Amino acid sequence: MAKNLRAKIPKSDTLVISDLNVDATKRFVDEVGNDTHIEIAQCVRAVAEKSETIITVLPEPSHVKSVFHGMLTPELPKSDKKGERLFIDCSTIDPASSKEVANAVHCPGIGRFVDAPMSGGVVGARAGTLTFMLGAPAAVLDRVKSVLLMMGKRVFHLGGQGAGVSGKIANNYLLALNNIATAEAMNIGVKWGLDAHILASLINASTGKCWPSEVNNPVPGVVPDSPASKGYSGGFGVSLMSKDLKLAIAAAKESGARLELAERATQIYDALEEDEDFKSKDFSVVYQYLQR
């Protein structure tokens, strides 16, 4: 994402980066080469002080709250640059946490906070083909979209602040179930003696087609570039899928929405997380879990 941003923002603009993963930061700097308009900040506060647009991408609600506390405390002075300081959070977190952070930004008048979680995984991030689900007021839509489209291909405006994360959690609830169902369907077919490649082609030309069957197929070798074909490395980790599923369940309870499949799906992802062979793998490793 950062590489796509650097390539598409004006060359005279400075990209300020902060990441706890020092190795990842070094790799990025090495990849972009000798660019004098890239600055590595030692803390998130420095990023906020030096930037007019701040993009955050973090694993869990607690991380988002901690990072924003670091940026906003003590109170961040209003931007001396042209326009209002804009915070774009691309993390997948619960609506309540997102609104809590938004209030921390809006109440002191520090800037504008919007939620814009994304879909597309590591592959989409690298290729610049991500889909963003945006929760933002109409007044900042054009500005936010112009930034997001440097990193992705589509932006769905779902409503005001908090709507983006609500849409993403609904999507990822479905993804969690589709992933299990796809693994089960492929496992059934293979055990019946069907060729996995042909079965996948059939499903993807029929009503069973979904992202786990077409792009992230759980059977090794069916999709050459999928995590399953690389020992289930990379991709979308089991722990992240489990986290998003639980966020969806909690949000559903708050709104009174009935979920029939959530409990069993949670049990499966919990079992993957507790298993040393599976917990650090892409979530499509559920296919191997079914082999036991």
Give 181-233 as a DSSP string. Answer: HHHHHHHHHHHTT--HHHHHHHHHTSTT--HHHHTS-SSTTTSTTSGGGGTT-
- Give, as one character, the DSSP assignment of residue 79: P
Alpha-carbon 263 to chain mean position: 23
* Count of C-beta atoms within a 10 Å radius of residue 169: 24
153 tagged catalytic: no
Rounded Cα distance between 244 and 119, Å, is 12
Instruction: Please report, as a single letter, which amino acid is at residue 123.
Output: V
Q: Is 87 left (phi over 0), alpha (psi -120 to 50) or beta?
A: beta
The bridge status of strand 118-119 relative to strand 130-135 is: antiparallel
Catalytic residue among 26, 50, 168, 243: 168
The reply to whether omega before 74 is within 30° of 0 (cis) is: yes
CA atoms within 13 A on the CB side of 199: 21
Active site residues: 168
